[in-house]
């Protein structure tokens, strides 16, 4: 006879599977044993395991981002769940559907000095769509599966927390699902359409981070609009970046004084934009009208307090824009050559030139994503570009890439990241089954290069120790740890290395931080001084 914990776990999983759950990431532990063992009753569920809860959560985030469907993340009790916080915060701000189930002990054991027992009910406060904690009644365990799935999917997707209290015995055998635990149905969602505003003819559309499927859906409409004069710039994370090959357009626009090169209105679509310091532009151009249409619904104005927020599906909005004629704003058509020598920019450019159409590129935050955004002219069209631009900083770069890679095992995977991000996050490779091979370039400039470029941080006393956290170590040890092929470049190589098919490659670009800083600042200056 199955114990109560087994009935609870099987009932919940049966409901989630009926709703459409197919992917599970498990950070193993004892208190979560009922869920782990119950997985055997559901052959449709694909399961990955990873002993590091933080890395496991980012792997789940990568899966949710790749498939655009809820992924179930499981862990044990105590502080285990707290380690998943960074990935859930990122999922919340990217509007990615995650279901995180933290196993817990019965309430009677709280404040009794019981090991691995703490108040878990309010984990992840501030970055959840909802939370559930079922009571002992079996109907509770069945119903929360439906509710959690519906909320995680949307229409505004995001993470949902299930805190699940299991009493002993926790372990059991058997794969048959009792008839009384069979699922009871599924929910469906709808999105209400709203009225399109009247845009002026000189409109600039700025696309932030978008789900790839949504970007692909609106791409033909944007292409038609651009052919009719619509002004467009796509963030490197928008999956529309190749429609705007001049990556530095926002920064270039901020430096222009000619009214003919200033838009009459700006429409922001999607999520995070990399160049986000629009304050000076707003102050010097008070007559520019601002509109905002985020793919997950209305929100507070981002750049201008008088922004008109649109609650309108993006495909409908883009379709309407594609039918009109627009007034084109002149912008530079070419990008100056890179400064000579071996530095971060030349290393990143060499790496990006090696990519092919259809590849997936995963970018670290800080300087890696900035280099790629400015170097988009050397990247092939139809390159999938992925990055965590919610709240993560350097956290979870590799683990998220691992999650994406296991979702697309036949796609070539590439990672461009910095030394601190590579050092901080690599336990995604502990996942089982292991991720498929990737080619990774780490820009080893002996610390956090962005702090050497920020005026405030770079001028601070002891900036190298307090901000850049300077380090002189190589990453050959990491390649040896996971059995990767290793290549180190201290100068411009004579040829781009071949990408191995059956083994991951770690390509370490060893650069001098001062030379990289000079090259970046000189190249930026030459770009911003261009004439349209």
The mean predicted confidence, pLDDT, of the chain is 88
Superfamily grouping for domain 4-174? Thiamin diphosphate (ThDP)-binding fold, Pyr/PP domains (3.40.50.970)
428-461 as b/e: b if 16+ CB within 10 A = bbbbeebbbbbbbbbbbbbbbbbbbbeeeeeeee
Task: Give backbone dihedrals phi and psi of 19, rounded to 5 degrees, phi first.
Answer: -75, -20
Residues in a beta bridge with 268? 206, 292
Which residues make up the CATH 3.40.50.970 domain(s) of the chain? Answer: 4-174, 344-528
Residues in a beta bridge with 290? 266
The H or E element that residue 147 is part of is helix 138-153
- What value does the mean pLDDT take over residues 501-519? 94
497-526 as b/e: b if 16+ CB within 10 A = eebeeeebbbbbbbbbbebbbebbeebbee
H-state helical runs in 168-313:
212-227, 249-254, 279-284
Which residues make up the CATH 3.40.50.1220 domain(s) of the chain? Answer: 203-322
pLDDT band of residue 189 (cuts 50, 70, 90) is very low
What is the fold of 203-322?
A: Rossmann fold (3.40.50)
Dist CA 163 CA 74 (whole Å): 10
pLDDT band of residue 283 (cuts 50, 70, 90) is confident
Interacting residues of 323 by C-beta distance below 8 A, sequence separation 6+: none
Superfamily grouping for domain 344-528? Thiamin diphosphate (ThDP)-binding fold, Pyr/PP domains (3.40.50.970)
Three-state DSSP state, 115:
coil
> Among residues 387, 357, 359, which one has the least CA distance to residue 373?
387
How many H-runs (helices) and E-runs (strands) does the chain carry? 18, 17
pLDDT tops 60 at residue 190: no
Q: What is the pLDDT of residue 191?
A: 37
Q: Which residue has the higher pLDDT, 258 or 513?
A: 513
pLDDT tops 80 at residue 485: yes
Dist CA 486 CA 471 (whole Å): 19
Q: pLDDT tens across 310-333, in order?
A: 877 889 999 999 999 999 998 888
Q: How many residues does the chain have?
A: 532
Torsion of CA 225, 227, 228, 234, to 10 degrees: 40
Establish how many alpha carbons lie within 13 A of residue 99's alpha carbon, considering only the half-sphere containing its beta carbon: 30
Residues in a beta bridge with 360? 384, 413
Sign of CA dihedral 14, 19, 21, 27: negative
- Please count the other Cβ atoms lying within 10 Å of the Cβ belonging to residue 481: 11
- What value does the mean pLDDT take over residues 217-223? 96
Interacting residues of 461 by C-beta distance below 8 A, sequence separation 6+: none
Dist CA 483 CA 42 (whole Å): 33
Q: pLDDT tens across 492-508, in order?
A: 998 888 888 889 999 99
pLDDT band of residue 235 (cuts 50, 70, 90) is very high
Percent of the residues in the chain that have a pLDDT greater than 90, as a whole number: 60
> DSSP string spanning 288-334?
-EEEEE-TT-----SS-TT-EE----HHHHHHHHHTS--PPPP----
Q: What is the pLDDT of residue 243?
A: 95
pLDDT band of residue 192 (cuts 50, 70, 90) is very low
Q: What is the pLDDT of residue 451?
A: 81
**What tokens appear for 120 in the block?**
């878990």
Q: pLDDT tens across 76-100, in order?
A: 998 889 999 999 999 999 999 999 9
Q: What is the pLDDT of residue 530?
A: 83
Q: What is the pLDDT of residue 188?
A: 38
């Amino acid at each position: 006879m199955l114990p109560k914990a087994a009935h609870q776990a099987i009932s919940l999983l049966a409901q989630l599977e009926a709703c459409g759950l197919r992917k599970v990431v498990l950070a193993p532990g004892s208190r979560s044993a009922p869920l782990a063992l119950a997985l055997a009753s559901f052959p449709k569920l694909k399961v990955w395991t990873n002993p590091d809860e933080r890395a496991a959560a980012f792997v789940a985030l990568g899966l949710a981002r790749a498939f655009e469907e809820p992924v179930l993340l499981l862990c044990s009790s105590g502080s285990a769940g707290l380690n998943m916080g960074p990935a859930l915060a990122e999922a919340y701000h990217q509007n990615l559907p995650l279901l995180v189930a933290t196993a817990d002990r019965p309430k009677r054991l709280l404040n009794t000095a019981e090991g691995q027992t703490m108040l878990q009910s309010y984990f992840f406060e501030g970055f959840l769509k909802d939370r559930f904690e079922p009571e002992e009644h079996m109907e509770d365990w069945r119903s929360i599966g439906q509710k959690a799935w519906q909320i995680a999917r949307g229409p505004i997707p995001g993470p949902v927390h299930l805190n699940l209290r299991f009493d002993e015995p926790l372990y059991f055998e058997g794969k048959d699902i009792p008839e009384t635990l069979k699922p009871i149905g599924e929910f469906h969602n709808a999105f209400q359409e709203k009225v399109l505003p009247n845009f002026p003819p000189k409109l600039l559309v700025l696309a932030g981070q978008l789900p790839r499927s949504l970007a692909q859906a609106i791409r033909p409409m944007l292409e038609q609009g651009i052919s009719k004069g619509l002004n467009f710039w796509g963030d490197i994370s928008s999956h529309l970046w190749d429609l705007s090959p001049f990556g530095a357009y926002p920064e270039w626009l901020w430096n222009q004084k000619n009214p003919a090169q200033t838009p009459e209105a700006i429409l922001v679509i999607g999520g995070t934009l990399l160049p986000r310091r629009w304050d000076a532009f707003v102050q010097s151009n008070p007559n520019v009208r601002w509109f905002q249409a985020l793919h997950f619904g209305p929100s507070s104005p981002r750049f201008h307090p008088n922004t008109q927020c649109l609650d309108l599906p993006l495909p409908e909005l883009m379709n309407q824009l594609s039918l009109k004629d627009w007034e084109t704003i002149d912008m530079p058509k070419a990008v100056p050559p890179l400064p000579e020598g071996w530095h971060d920019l030349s290393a990143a450019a060499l790496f990006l030139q090696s990519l092919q159409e259809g590849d997936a590129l995963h970018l670290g935050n800080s300087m890696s994503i900035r280099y790629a955004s400015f170097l988009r002219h050397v990247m092939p069209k139809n390159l999938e570009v992925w990055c965590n631009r919610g709240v993560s900083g350097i956290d979870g770069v590799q683990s998220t890439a691992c999650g994406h890679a296991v979702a697309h095992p036949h796609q070539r995977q590439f990672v461009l990241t910095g030394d601190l991000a590579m050092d901080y996050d690599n336990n995604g490779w502990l996942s089982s089954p292991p991720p498929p091979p990737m080619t990774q370039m780490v820009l080893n400039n002996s610390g956090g290069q962005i702090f050497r470029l920020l005026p405030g941080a770079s001028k601070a006393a002891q900036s190298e120790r307090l901000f850049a956290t300077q380090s002189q170590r190589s990453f050959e040890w990491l390649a040896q740890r996971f059995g990767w092929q290793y290549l180190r470049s201290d100068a411009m190589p004579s040829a781009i290395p071949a990408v191995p098919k059956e083994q991951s490659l770690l390509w370490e670009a060893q650069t001098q931080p001062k030379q990289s800083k000079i090259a970046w600042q000189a190249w930026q200056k030459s770009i911003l001084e261009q004439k349209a």
